[in-house]
Amino acid sequence: MLDNRYGGGAARSIAMTHLRTDVLPMLEGNYTGTVGRNLFRAAALVTHHTAHLLYDTGRHGAARRYLRLALDMAYHGHDRAFAAKILGTLAHQAVHLGDYREAVELAEAGLAEPGLTPAGRAALHAMAARAHARLRDSRATAISLSHAESSLSAGTPAQEPVWLRYFSGAELHDEIAHCLVDLRQARAARPHAEHGIAARTDRYARSIAFTRVVLATAWLQQREVERACQVATGALRATEDIQSERVRGYLAGFRERLRPFRNVPAARDFSYKAARMLR
């Protein structure tokens, strides 16, 4: 909850201490097979959360190590569905770092795991779509997004484990918007981004900030500079409360895309504010 609302920086040290002091030492104890499987499943969940906090704060090497550790724990716990979720997070990080083909391979590896729920399958298809869009493969993107939509519509949130209930219709709209902006289909991207923003509460403040930047980018692609800067300013204000290097990265990227419009007053004003807040 802290991660979603305030960013990885708000909870990273707490999670790291809990994992190292309380969780990992328990794995060295004695237990029956059943208790051991449940213990490794719980430890995988905590380790995955910790890795995500590290990822969000830009500690990518450590995040990947903890994600690999969480993956091993999930396999020890015989939880193949959660293993698939971790592979999806690795794919998400790979997209963020520009390793798009690796991201496709990781998402496909997740989809090959048994026991996937509708939302679990949808999330992996959506991540594959994100990677295909970055590779400018519009056909593969469309196929993956179609699979994501049909998978999500096959279930309900109540059927999902707690750790997958975040992947709702709003989340899928957000993923679609990301893909369409990357493919420079701005007009089609805007309604998806707007829906993703409107359907969320402040509980998901970081996700809202991401989607605001995506929406701002869509407006910018249509050369609506003032509208784009107005939308992006909402995400810029959020950085006062959200400790997330990923959010800062989104905003820095948007500021860079404003360079061709630096003679427009709205662009100059946003760049000035961003330079002060992001330094």
Our measurement of the distance from residue 143's CA atom to the centroid of its chain's CA atoms, rounded to an integer in Å, reads 20
Q: What is the DSSP string of 218-236?
A: HHHHTT-HHHHHHHHHHHH
Nearest CA-CA partner of 84 in 135, 133, 118, 38: 118
pTM of the model: 0.96
Would the pLDDT of 161 be above 90? yes
- Any residues with CB less than 8 A from the CB of 73 and at least 6 apart, and which? 40, 41, 43, 44, 47
Instruction: Kindly report the backbone phi and psi dihedral angles of residue 30, in degrees, each rounded to the nearest multiple of 5, phi listed first.
Output: -105, 135
What does the pLDDT look like over 70-96, one tens digit per residue? Answer: 999 999 999 999 999 999 999 999 999
Q: What angle do CA 49, 13, 30 make, to 5 degrees?
A: 60
Rg over alpha carbons for the chain, rounded to the nearest Å, is: 19
Structure token digits, residue 246: 């990923």
- What is the amino acid identity at position 249? G
Q: What is the reported pLDDT for 151?
A: 98
